[in-house]
Every structure is written in structure tokens, then in C-alpha cells.
Amino acid sequence: MLQRLKKARPPRTGGVFTIVASSYNAQYVDGMVKAAVRELKKAGGRTRVIRVPGAFEIPVVAARLAAGREHPDALICLGVVLRGETVHAQHIGEAVTRALMQIQITHHLPVVHEVLLLENPQQAVARCLNARHNRGIEAARTALEMARVLAKL
């Protein structure tokens, strides 16, 4: 069940955030990217957006960024995978999830996972283009909070 996002102004914390976003299903992913960038800017964060062909390509870019000397305060990974008639989408979703989790643990860097595995375009519209439930906003808020938590450790 979709939960409505609370209208909250994020505290001005600054920070550097990189969004790695899929170009595939761009009409939906772009909605999340725009929402995330807007939310991060409200908090005084600097953003960089890197586009990759599809969801499966997100982890290799995330890993390279996490291993770099000057990595961001958090990575935000955005994509949309729509289920089809085969199990291919399921395999993509599981592989991306495992890879992003491993990157986060290995590099001690928040990796926010909003690579959505959805049943149909209606679910994509509800989660990516609707301001009340936009997962890009949620991803940005999570990245901001995780950057604050890790800075305190």
C-alpha cells in the first residue's frame, strides 16, 4: 500500500549526493530524478546525476563511485523495471538489489535503492510521477538522513 509522503521541509544539511539513474523507462525515472534533485537542493545539497542504459548497469557505476577517493555522502540509485511475460525482470531486480547491498556494506557508504520492480505502468505513474508518493523524494530524504547518521559515527 502506498503511503502518502509528509510535507516536510528537509533540514539544511548540505552534502554531496550522486544519483545513478537508468535511461530505460525514462518517462518514469525522470520523474523520480527531478523530485530527488529538488528535495536535495531544498536541503542545501549538491547533486550530480549520472545516467546509465538500464537498471542492470546501475551497480557497476555505483561501485566505481563508492571506491573513488572523493565519493559522495550518499548514492541514490533510481530505475524502473516493469514485469513482462518472463522472469527476466525478477532476475534484474534481485541482481541489482544484491549488488547495491554489497556496495553499501563494503564501502560503508549509504546506497539508497529505489530501483523499482513494478507490475504495470499504472504503478509506475503512482510511484514516479505523483507528488504524493514520489519515490524520488523518499530516496532523497533517506540519503540526507543516512549522510547525517554516518557523519555522527
- Domain-by-domain residue ranges, the chain? 18-152
Question: What confidence category does residue 116 fall into, taking pLDDT thresholds of 50, 70 and 90?
Answer: very high
Residue 62 CB partners (closer than 8 Å, separation 6+): 20, 75, 77, 99, 100, 103, 111
Examine the residue annotation and report whether 108 is marked as an active-site residue of this protein.
no
Question: What confidence category does residue 59 fall into, taking pLDDT thresholds of 50, 70 and 90?
Answer: very high
* For range 90-108, the mean pLDDT: 97
- Predicted confidence at residue 13, as pLDDT, reads 75
Q: Tell me the fold of 18-152.
A: Rossmann fold (3.40.50)
Strands (E) in 5-56, as ranges, are 16-22, 46-52
Q: Which residues, listed in sequence order, are joined to residue 20 by a DSSP beta bridge? A: 50, 77
Catalytic residue among 88, 107, 108, 113: 88
For residue 128, the one-letter residue type is C
